[in-house]
Chain A
Amino acid sequence: MELLVASAVGVLTAAGVYLVLRLRTFPVIIGTSLLSYAVNIFLFATGRLAVNQAPILRDGVETYTDPLPQALVLTAIVISFGMTAVVVMIALGSYLSANDDHVNQREEGQPDSGRVDEPDAPRPGDGATREALQ
């Protein structure tokens, strides 16, 4: 049990870190999801692993499992789920408006990092972006 949980956290974290260091948005987002799974399992294990035990303290029950980390994990799952949804939408918007899904700032050809032209000027991808985001 301990080995299983520990190796799951380790493998997921390692894979997540590797993917987060990639250059394109898709692997990076998968990487952040893997990291959030890793942290969820880790949080679950912080209350010590107790198999087949009730989470609530009752008279006559000697050992029980800690209910608090389970509540924490639920919160963390909800939050990471929401965050993943938002980051997918933003990545999609970024891809549709720039026609490029690199995470890094591309600076070749222009001395100034960042803005290519007026930020509010309409450009081809914008309509699609708005639709995608609504």
Chain B
Amino acid sequence: MTHWLITPIVIPAVLAALIVLAARFHLRLQRVFSLTGSLLVLAIAAGLFWQASDGTILLYQLGDWQAPFGIVLVGDRLSTLMILLAALIAPLILLYAIGSGWDTRGRHFHALFQFQMMGIMGAFLTGDAFNLFVFFEVLLIASYGLMLHSGGTARYRAGLQYMLYNLLGSTLFLFALGTLYAETGTLNMADLAVRLSTPGIEHTAGLRVASVLLLMVFAVKAALLPLHFWLPSSYAEAPGPVAALFAVMTKIGAYGIIRFYTLVFPPDLTVTQGLFDTWLLPAALMTLALGMIGVLGTRRLDRTVAFAVIGSMGMLLASVAVFTPEGIAAALYYAVHSTFATAALFLIVDVVRDRRGAHAAKLEAAPTFPGGALVAGLFFVSAIAMTGLPPLSGFLGKLMILEAATAGPLVWWVWGVVLTSSLLAVVGFSRAGSTVFWKSHQVDEAHASTVEDPEDQQGADEPHDPPAHEPALPMVAIGGFIALLVAMTVLAGPLTRYLNATTAQLFDPAPYIATVLETPGKKIEYHGDGHGQDDAHDDAHVTAEDAATKTQKESH
């Protein structure tokens, strides 16, 4: 058994401890550790991605314990794709944080960042539901620290709300897991899948409660409509690089939904009847509408982007809710795209906030600031990506979602909401961009005419002293995200083929289950030919040996 699969979790964990214990007062050392660690994790994630790309399912048994009894890490195509995504954005965000000096504005930025990466990697890799909860908590507790980095009244208040909301979400998660365990006697995802698909099993109310509770937990993380209230202020108040890192956190909610509801609770089970078409799809469409209306209605640039995140999650989940292989492939493409676009936009907003002085992120005309043209250009490109205009990847993603929606219910609703909300987003971002970047020239002209007065006008309207030289690293980081977006557009063909293979693997969980649970002398037979919309109930059954090993659970 090779240990590569656990290294994306172990490296950040060790580094974080090392940074906080050994390099506490050496910022340079912290930066070196943090950045090298992220690059190392990126290399490993790329290796794992390549290893899993031929359909192999990587398995790591912690402490060499067999699957239902010990905790396993599983790297299939979806997991390795998500860890590669997280590993790709981490070094760029670190570059930005180092270049913009965010890591000097408070303590322990790098340690918390590495702990957060550990949680994110663990959440994507684990094959055990309770372990997923633990990694959620790891990434959340690190995110509380990062969110409050460098302090400030508004940030504390937003941080408190964010934290209380997530505490309730965690409690809900525990209730869901407890219900699931009480009904099935296991928390290993593959084992859960086998038990729930066993023909004889009673699909009780308890199981249905567990499936709905779990959906709610992931909906909190993914900021689905009635549960989205934590997102706008916490993303808007968080430091720029932290908000950019949070871009991948909403995707964890989406990952959870995709993972659990393809593997454990496929839509053809009686307990999940109507969960997607009656609840998730309308909720996702309303989230999309609300997000884009929010984009139109905010008065601050950071909130514009935060609402765009909500809108993009709505779009993503609408595609997931259709629950066809095409829909999930489109959702994954859109998830990767919107992570890059959101991260780029939050970094740009941070640059704007920094350089406009007292005007900060308010959507009002302010004097031009140094380097404004470059920032405006970057904002333009990222906004095009975010709103889904051609030629960037957002357009392709949206096209795939629209196409996938034709297979599901509420086609016209999906098309109507997606297209209308895109228009709203375009208008909202144009308004934001033109107010912040174009109108500043008018302010300059007005300013120039009044400056002839003898009185000195260098007052509150003027931005703070611009830095002596513009640091290049922040721009490199933002440029990196845009390069990734362009790469996604250019390589859309291979990427889509890969994502189709990913969803094919998700819709055929038998190899996953066999890899996790089968050992010499024990054979799991999971007869399922995918979870198509109209498929009959999977008639999986467990062989005698397997049942024998499990009877001890039921014997009490």
Contact = CB atoms under 8 A, between A and B. Distances in A.
B362 interface: yes
Interface in A59-90: 63-66, 68-69, 72, 75-76, 79-80, 82-83, 86-87, 90
Nearest to B353: A119
B470 to A, nearest CB: 19
Interface in A100-134: 103, 105, 111-116, 118-120, 123, 125-126, 129-130
Contacts of B553: 66
Contact of A91 (B153, B160, B552): B160
Contacts of A79: 134, 137, 170
Contacts of A105: 157, 161, 233
Interface in A37-55: 38-39, 42-43, 45-48, 50, 53
**Dominant SS among interface residues on chain A:** helix
A129 B151 contact: yes
A40 to B, nearest CB: 8
Interface residues of B, number: 45
Interface stretch (B178-186, B274-282, B285-293, B407-415): B178-186
- From B150, B153, B179, name the one whose CB has the most chain A CB atoms within 10 angstroms: B153
B178 A90 contact: no
B164 interface: yes
A116 B151 contact: no
B207 to A, nearest CB: 13
B31 interface: no
Interface of B: 105, 130, 134, 137, 141, 144, 148, 150-161, 163-164, 167-168, 170-171, 174-175, 177-179, 181-182, 233, 236-237, 299-300, 303, 358, 360, 362, 552-553, 555-556
13 contacts: A43-B174, A43-B177, A48-B182, A68-B181, A83-B137, A112-B300, A114-B158, A118-B358, A119-B152, A119-B155, A120-B105, A126-B151, A130-B151
Given A86-B144, A93-B148, 17 more contacts: A29-B164, A42-B174, A46-B182, A69-B178, A72-B177, A72-B181, A79-B170, A83-B167, A90-B144, A90-B156, A90-B159, A93-B156, A98-B153, A116-B153, A119-B152, A126-B151, A129-B151
